[in-house]
Chain A
Amino acid sequence: MAIAKAERLMNLALCLLGTRRPLSKRELRESIEAYLEAGSDDSFNRMFERDKDDLRELGLVIETVENLDGETGYLARRDSNRLPAITLDAEEAAALGLAAKVWQQARLAGAASGALQKLRAAGMPEAEDSYEAHHSALEPRIPVHEAAFEPLMLACRDRRPVVFDYRKANAAKPEQRQVEPWTLECWRGHWYLAGWDRERRAERVFRLSRISGRVRSRSGAFTAPVPDVVTVRETVETWAGETATRSALIRLRSDCGYPLRARAVSSRELGDGWDELEIPYGHGLDAWLVEFGPDVVVLEPADLRADVVDRLRAVARA
């Protein structure tokens, strides 16, 4: 049976951490059983390169040094790989323990528990059993359902340009977009990407669930400067109609439309089972008001009234 990958990676890590001088590929091959069994030079080389990348993903700093004979050697110096001293008290440890549980995405969940394990090995105190009894009952969870998340997270991290197919909210077909990805943000349970759209030569925000197909990396560096502050949330709030600039006057049947009442700037009773409300008028209000069917009548402004009537006609004809 082939030697398990974890055993091979562990051996490579321990060899590189244990040595005081750079070890050549040849020396490493001789000292690690899985590499002896690797067969051809080619398959060993491929395996070795992949393993080295994997260990770097785990945070290991592996140096490449050339010796006098021109042979490349590898080592992981102790001082560049040591966790700086960190002292956490029991409360801080418990708080981090709660935070580490929030990820519902395999890669980040694995990374978060890996971080806790490193801290634990470095002496972080263990949570007492009674923790849950006196702490907040909340269980926060960060959902990640979008397939585009992981490749975009890595591209943001490594500052790599990407290309993907994106369908705008009202478009029939997806369009290819060339993007320099800056940040990912989760708001109201959905993920958004902010970045530089190369063709439009402007900052854009993308909703991850509208990306179809694979996210592919492009070679080369970013061409536009990365801003210090990226305002994903403000952009999305505008989409969601949360930044109202005007107000509207509506008639609402009594005892109906609680969310409209909760937002109302003012309201008064009209009698006959109707109230009049003034509510903020932002993007998307027409579609929302139509949901209330015959319980809402828009009074002002005229354009909103016309939009709502238009939508109602479409439904009546359907």
Chain B
Amino acid sequence: MAVNAIDQTRRMLSLVTYLRERPGAHVSDVARAFGITEDELISDLDVLPMCGTSFRGGDLLDIDTDGDRIWWHNPDDVAEPLRLAADEATALLVAARAVATLPGLRESDRQALLRATAKLEAAAGEAAGASSRLSVTFESEGGVFADVDRAISERRRLWLRYYSPARDELTEREVDPIRLFAVGHTYMEAWCRLSEARRTFRLDRVAEIKLLDAPAAPPELELRDLSAGLVQPSADDPEVVVEVGPGGRWVAEYYPHDSAEELPDGGLRITLRTPAPASLRRLALRLGRDGRITAPRDLAENARRAAREALAAYDSDDAQRQH
């Protein structure tokens, strides 16, 4: 089991303080209060009896458990609540400030967060100082957000007019919302009744939204693990190869890819997979002289055709202007 010694030490110091006030505490309650598994708690309880509170040993912590309840037989006053470290204050304050700016947050939650932030700043003292060196802004898609949030809590269906950049079109659909999350932008995960599948919608692409009276009935689904990234192409998706010059290296920053091979001119050969390669026509057009799609061939040809068609429109426009 990989255990981070720093995190475990930090937790054990708080644990002794916590246990002193609660003789006979239940393992399950303590694990929940500390946001850890019961196994993690038990491994902490295995270490604590090896630790002493005073110089020259002898006074080891007499803490034991029968797996259900925890007893500390010689509680010591060394166990006082400890001040916050700079990183701890920063992690909590920066997150609290960022969440408080979320436009769709309920007002009562925002007020609670602002009160907690002020108290925390006061209690952290100097340790709070460094927290101003880190900040996070979430995107603001306020109006849409409030409707989605309400639909989730009232378990109601939503009607959307949604913009798909891949096809450059607006589509209308009914969805059963599952969850709202913010990773840079704010997204809704929902069961789409049009495609009969789970879909992720970016709220700034919702052109119009209506709360319906019909109840939402999404199928039972396991929530996706967001830490793995939003776009998770499948191994069966077709492969696209994009060759970019130095000016197109940003493609590797924006598109999750399988590989990015350095080219001698300072460019990259990027291989990625996508369920709908046609959607990358936009990318090919955007790249201009900074890069081109080399595979699949029909996608590359599609982009060239679009460019020629557009140029023809400029030519006839120029001809008309000269008349």
Q: Which stretch of A62-70, A135-143, A196-204, A213-221 is in the interface? A: A135-143
Q: A112's closest neighbor in chain B, by CB?
A: B91
Contact with B along A86-121 (1 / 0, CB 8 A): 111101111110111011101111111111111011
Q: How far is A82 from B98 in the complex, measured between Cα atoms in Å?
A: 28
Please tell me if the beta carbons of B286 and A84 are within 8 angstroms of each other in the complex.
no
Q: Are B168 and A17 in contact (CB under 8 A)?
A: no
Cβ-closest 8 pairs across A and B:
A189-B184, A172-B266, A59-B85, A122-B81, A293-B306, A314-B289, A311-B288, A115-B88
Chain B residues with CB under 8 A of A111: 85, 87-88, 90-92
A137 touches B180 (CB 8 A): yes
How many B residues touch the partner, as a band? 35 or more
Interface residues of A in 145-173 (CB under 8 A from B): 153, 156-157, 167, 169-173
Q: Which residues of A contact B281 (CB under 8 A)?
A: 293
- Spell out B's residues near A (CB within 8 Å): 3-15, 17-18, 21, 32-35, 47-48, 50-57, 61, 76, 78, 80-92, 95-96, 98-99, 102, 104-106, 108-109, 112-113, 115-116, 119-120, 122-123, 125, 127, 130, 132-139, 145, 148-149, 152-153, 163, 165, 168-170, 179-186, 207, 226-227, 245-247, 249-250, 253, 265-267, 281-282, 284-289, 292, 300, 303-304, 306-314, 317
Chain B: which residue is nearest A295 at the CB level? B168
A99-B95, A171-B246, A257-B168 known; A138+B88 contact, CB < 8 A: no
Binary CB contact string for chain A from 269 to 300 against chain B (1 if under 8 A, 0 otherwise): 00000000000000000011011111111000
User: In the assembly, what is the distance between CA of A86 and CA of B127, in Å?
Assistant: 15
CB < 8 Å: which of B84, B92, B306 contacts A294?
Answer: B306
Which residues on B sit within 8 Å (CB–CB) of A6?
Answer: 3, 5, 8-9, 12, 47
- Bound Cα distance from A315 to B115, whole angstroms: 55
Give the number of residues in A that approach B within 8 Å (Cβ atoms): 126
Cβ-defined contact, A316 with B311, below 8 A:
yes
Q: Would you give the shortest CB distance from A229 to chain B, in whole angstroms?
A: 10
A121, B309: Cβ atoms under 8 Å? Answer: no
Which one of A93, A103, A157, A183 has the highest number of Cβ atoms from chain B below 10 Å of its Cβ?
A: A157
- Does A57 make an interface contact (CB < 8 A)? yes
Decide if B116 touches A88 in the complex (CB within 8 Å): yes
Q: Is the CB of A288 within 8 A of B286?
A: yes
B92 adjacent to A96 (CB under 8 Å)? yes
Known: A156-B133, A292-B168, A315-B307. A140 touches B102 (CB 8 A): yes
* Docked-complex contact B54 and A19, CB < 8 angstroms: yes
In the complex, residue of chain B having the shortest beta-carbon distance to the beta carbon of A154: B87
- Report how far A207 CA is from B223 CA in the complex, Å: 31
Contact residue among B51, B61, B119, B249 (Cβ-Cβ distance under 8 Å from A92): B119
Does A293 lie within 8 Å of B95, measured CB to CB?
no
Asked if A262 is an interface residue, CB under 8 A from chain B, the answer is yes
Known: A58-B10, A291-B285, A315-B284. A31 touches B52 (CB 8 A): yes
How far apart are B126's CB and chain A's nearest CB, in angstroms? 10
Give CA–CA (A278, B21) in the complex, Å.
68
> Would you give the shortest CB distance from A5 to chain B, in whole angstroms?
4
Cα separation A310 to B186 with both chains bound (whole Å): 35
| Contact for B96 among A23, A99, A121, CB less than 8 A | A99
B180 contacts A99, C-beta separation under 8 Å: no
Are B182 and A92 within 8 A (Cβ)? no
**Does B304 lie within 8 Å of A316, measured CB to CB?**
yes
Do residues A318 and B135 form an inter-chain contact, with CB atoms below 8 A?
A: no
Give the distance to chain A from B95, nearest Cβ to Cβ, in Å.
Answer: 4
Most chain B beta-carbon neighbours within 10 Å: one of A106, A109, A120, A173: A120
25 residue pairs A–B, Cβ–Cβ below 8 Å: A17-B78, A82-B80, A91-B109, A100-B95, A104-B226, A109-B91, A111-B88, A112-B88, A116-B92, A118-B88, A121-B82, A137-B180, A139-B179, A141-B181, A153-B133, A156-B130, A171-B246, A172-B245, A172-B267, A184-B135, A185-B137, A309-B311, A314-B289, A315-B303, A318-B284
A18 is an interface residue with CB less than 8 A from chain B: yes
Residues of chain A in range 44-62 having any CB-CB distance to chain B below 8 Å? 54-55, 57-61
* B91→A108 contact, CB < 8 A: yes
Is A126 engaged at the interface, CB distance under 8 Å to the other chain? yes
Q: Are B55 and A23 in contact (CB under 8 A)?
A: yes
**Partner of A137 from B9, B96, B153 at Cβ < 8 Å:** B153
Residues in A whose Cβ lies below 8 Å from that of B84: 59, 83, 115, 118
Q: Let me know if A297 and B88 touch, CB within 8 A.
A: no
Q: Is B35 in contact with A4, judged by CB distance below 8 angstroms?
A: no
In the complex, which of the residues A27, A185, A293 contacts B55, with contact meaning CB atoms closer than 8 Å? A27
A42 within 8 A of B: no
A13 within 8 Å of B (CB atoms)? yes
Q: Which residues of A contact B133 (CB under 8 A)?
A: 153, 156-157, 182-184
Inter-chain contact A262/B85, CB cutoff 8 Å:
no
